[in-house]
Structures are given as structure tokens and as C-alpha cells.
Amino acid sequence: MAPSTKSNIPDVPPMICDQAKQKYYTTGEFLGKGGFAACYKVTNLSGEIYAAKIVSKQFVKQKNAEKATQLQQEIKIHKSMTHENIVKLFFAFEDNANIYIFLELCNRRSMMELQRRRKAITEPEVRYWTQQVTSACVYIHSLHIIHRDLKLGNLFITDDMVLKVGDFGLATYSLDGKGDKRWLCGTPNYIAPEVLQKKQHSTKVDIWAIGCIVYVLLVGKPPFETSSLDLTYRKITRNEYDIPEELDKEAAALIKRLLAAEPTDRPDAYEILKTPFMQAFTPRRLPVSCLTTKPVFTTIPDAMNAATTQPTQLRCNVLAERTATSETYLAELDQQISEILNKKLVEKPLTDDLLKDPASIPIYWVSKWVDYSLRYAFAYQLCDGSLGASYKDGSKLIMDASKEYCQYRSSKNEEAFFSVLTCPLAYEKKLILLQNFENYMTLNLKKAGSNVLRDGVEIGRLPVLQHWIRTKTTVSFLLSNGTYQCNFNNDHSKVIICPLMGAATLIDSNQTFHTYKLSNLDHSKVIICPLMGAATLIDANQTFHTYKLSNLVANGAPRELTDRLHYTLNYIRKLQEINW
């Protein structure tokens, strides 16, 4: 592991040893860092994988005995919990340098990244996620514990799209129903007014935080967010926030109850689940694609019983947001890349984990493609194993990784979804072509793995190939979710950029992801996605590294990258000239 440049972030050995049990763990991918801890993926000799939160003992010592006590309490509280919506703490131990806390690994990162990609999400999705965080709080509060730091960044997501509450660093016992009023703890946009006023507080501070979470998921921004911390705190203490007129009345009513100025006016966690908003249709499962795009709901609540669901016929609809989205993404890419290219060139080594930003790893990119566009279509495979084709008539068809469902987009951008087994006659020939493309590409692809849809999973709306350009030296893609990718033929390097996250990712031949700030780029592949403000570099060894675009803008980029970004900018400007 690379040495850290800040004393509060621990130096992590390549092999971690639990001396008491004589067990060894290999340190793998860097997952992220917090105020005084770093998190790595670690593997034992049996192949079991954990997320290890690692705290420097030197840092704890430099603070005070209270910090050590707080860490001990975090471990004690967290380890005592067993719930499907709480990150599991397996065990903890220490060596001479660090304290190691072994946690359940949540590969889909957190709700914070989902919200940054999607902004506001649909009401059924809000209920799906809120139901889980609330269920966790019912359990936590039943143990007379207050979490005190509920926020999107502490709500983690598993591969099965299950929400897990994590980070109990500020949690405390509340045997009398109240917490210690001495502590001003929490995150500014989620902190309750009684905490700001240093009054005695209770489990109702977690209910307030759930209100902030529901608001930001429905509206796309926190209820009290301002450019000034003092102003934010003033708005919180005065209970000043706006509810958009277009928001569902039952959703607005729930938010008002959760964000009641008086803690006693807020419901408890169990009561939240019984509110009218939460009793409406909620999907049993969500597809991974909802991390970046809106899902398609194929079931509706029965008129007599909202808890039951019945299948409903899928209808075509025109994607009204298509023009604005494409033009907005391209304009953002143009602006950010132009700023990067106008800066002085800076080169730095990519050896420090502190530079990485793993949470910004892209969800989708093109992993394989085949060009039959002169006769039929341009076909491609996304990284999750789903397959798509862009046909000569301007229509597009994509089949999910389970090979069970398809989504079709006409040249007029009308959208339809159907089962492969019940394919409408109008799309049959195009589906056969897509299946033939799949057979051809399978010869050159690794097995995609089992992505079979389970009962209750809604159909994912996968990003489709919006446009592509192929030359003798490159092939470039623009996906409908804003992700831009460019593959360079001479060294098989790729570029992916996503502006909202401001980061770039490298993936190696072992499919290990490394996410970095863009100021330190010195590799030959980049993937660009306007939604995340991020660029992903993929080198000739298929190693992915993700970096923050904001640092490229501030500090410039290495020549290996700028050479490719010049081409990227030219391609983006060509796309902007297209009449969408």
C-alpha cells in the first residue's frame, strides 16, 4: 500500500494479521476514506471478502482519551446489531499501528452517489429506500440507541440493491430516551434543530434526518441547503424550507411531520411506515440500472388494496427529456474539457490512495462492440452483460443481461418494453439480429455471470447508445445517460468521463477498480461521464483508475491525457452540431 500524506489516515500493510487468532488478510482495493479512517477491501485465505475500516492508533493517541472511548463505543454498539438493513460488523482487532474493523462489503457504494447521478428519483423508489432505512431505525431505536448521523453517504447499497445503514461513529446509548446534549454532532444538511441548540435530544433526531433524506430524494436537493453554513443553521433553527407545489400531497404531508420543529411532533420510526405515502405502491426489488436511470414499473397497486400488485400492460411513451439531456451533457463536457486543456500541464505519480475516489466508479460503459452499420446495425455490449444495437433506421434495441427483457426506442424516441418470449412482431427481426450479434460477440467475451431477474424486480431502463463515431484510430460512444467513451485502437486505451462526480477510474486485468482525482492522471485511457464530473482511465492492461475532474480543471493534466482530450473535445463539438 502507498504511504499516506496525512497523519490521520493510516499506513496500511499489504498483509493484515490478527495475532490473537493467527489469521491473515490480504489488503486489496482502496474503497474510500473518512475523517480519520481509510477503508479497504480485504480477503482472508478462504477467499471471504470484507470491507476493513482502518484507524491509525497514532491519530487516536494524538486526539485524546475521549476519541479512543468514542471508537470503542462505536465498535460495541455496531457489533451488537443484527438486522438486514444494517451493515454487519463481524469483528475488530488491532496491531501496533492500527485498529481494524471488519464490515460487510456493500459493492454499490451509497445513496449519495445514486442521488448525485439521478438528482430526484421516483416516488416508488423513495418508498423503497425509505422503508429500509426506517426499518433499520425501528430496530436501532428498540435497542435504545440513537444513530445521530443518518445521511445519504451512510446508507450503503449491496449488489442485491438492499440498503444498509452504516457508520455508527456518532451513535450513542439512550436508555432514558435521550442523548447527550453536550455534543454538536451530525452533518450540517441533516442536523436537527435541537442538536444545534444543544438541547437534550432523542431518537427524534434520526427521524428529522429521515425527513431530510426523503426530501432530497424527492426534490433533488437538501431542504435547508445554502451557500453558507451559518445561513443553513439559521434556516434549520427557524424551520425555513420550501416544498415544491408539484410534490405529491401525501409526500409533502410526510415531510412536514418528519421535519416538525418540535421533536414531540415527529412520528417515531414505526409510525412512518404506516403513513399514507409509505402505504402506496412500493416495488419489492429494484434493478441495478436505477443507480443511474429511472426504472420501469411493471406492476401497479390493486384499487382495493395498495399492498397487492397486478401486472399492467407496458405502453410506449415519448422521452420528453431526451433533447435537453443530450445537449446539456455535451455542453458540460465541452466546458469542463476546454478548461482542462487550457491549464498548464501537470504530471504526478498515482501512488497515493489519498488521491483516489472509488465512489465515482462509472456504472455503465461499453465493453465490446461490432460494426455492421453499413448493412444492419452497430452492436455493443455494456459492462453488465446487457446487449444493444443501433439500427440503420435510427431505432435502438437493448436486451438486459438476463436475456429476458428488451427495451426499444424508435427513431422518434418512443420507448417500449417487452419480454423476449413475447416479442411483438414489429420488433422480431431486430431482436433476431441482436441475438445474432450476441452469438458473434460471445466468442470474444468473458462470461457475463448470472444476472437473472428475481421475482419482484422491476425492469431496468438501461442506457442506450445515443451516437457513435468510428475512424481508423478511434471509436467513440455517447450513451443516453450522458457517459462519453472513446477507445483508441493503437494501444487499446479507453476514455470515460462523467462530470457530476468529478472523478476518473482505472480498472486492471483483475477487474480491480482504482478511483483517483484527475490532477494526477498519467495513464493512457479515459472514460468520461458528464453526470459525475469524473474521468476514468483504462490502461493497456485494462486497469481502471477514476479521478476527480475538478482537480484537472485546477491543476492541468498530463500530455498522455491531453492528446486524447483534444480528440474528445472535437468529437463532442461534432455531436453538438447534430440536430437532435
Write out the catalytic residue numbers: 149
Closest by CA to 567, choosing from 332, 337, 330, is: 337
CA dist 97 and 11 (Å) reads 8
CB distance 413 to 318 below 8 Å = yes
Q: Which long-range contacts link 89-96 to residues 24+ away (Cβ below 8 Å)?
A: 90/50, 93/18, 93/19, 93/20, 93/21, 94/57, 95/16, 95/17, 95/19, 96/57
CA dist 504 and 497 (Å) reads 7
In DSSP notation, 185-246 reads -S-GGG--HHHHTT--EETHHHHHHHHHHHHHHHHSS-TT--S-HHHHHHHHHHT-----TT
Q: Which residues pair with 300 in a beta bridge?
A: 310
Range 280-308 burial, b when 16+ CB lie within 10 A, else e: bbbbeebbbbbbbbbbbbbbebeeeeeee
Q: Determine the residue type at 512.
A: T
Q: Which residues pair with 485 in a beta bridge?
A: 477, 527
Q: Residues 543, 546, 549, CA angle at the centre, nearest 5°?
A: 145
Closest by CA to 378, choosing from 464, 460, 480, is: 464
CA dist 481 and 112 (Å) reads 18
CB distance 184 to 194 below 8 Å = no
Task: Look up residue 567 and give its three cell numbers.
Answer: 480528440
CA dist 34 and 548 (Å) reads 17
CB distance 137 to 147 below 8 Å = yes
CB distance 564 to 341 below 8 Å = no
Residues 565/567/571/573 CA torsion (nearest 10 deg): 70
Task: Look up residue 577 and give its three cell numbers.
Answer: 452540431
Range 187-196 burial, b when 16+ CB lie within 10 A, else e: bebbbbbbbb
- Check the CA dihedral 404-409-282-218 and report its sign: positive
Counted residue by residue, the chain has a size of: 580
CB distance 61 to 69 below 8 Å = no
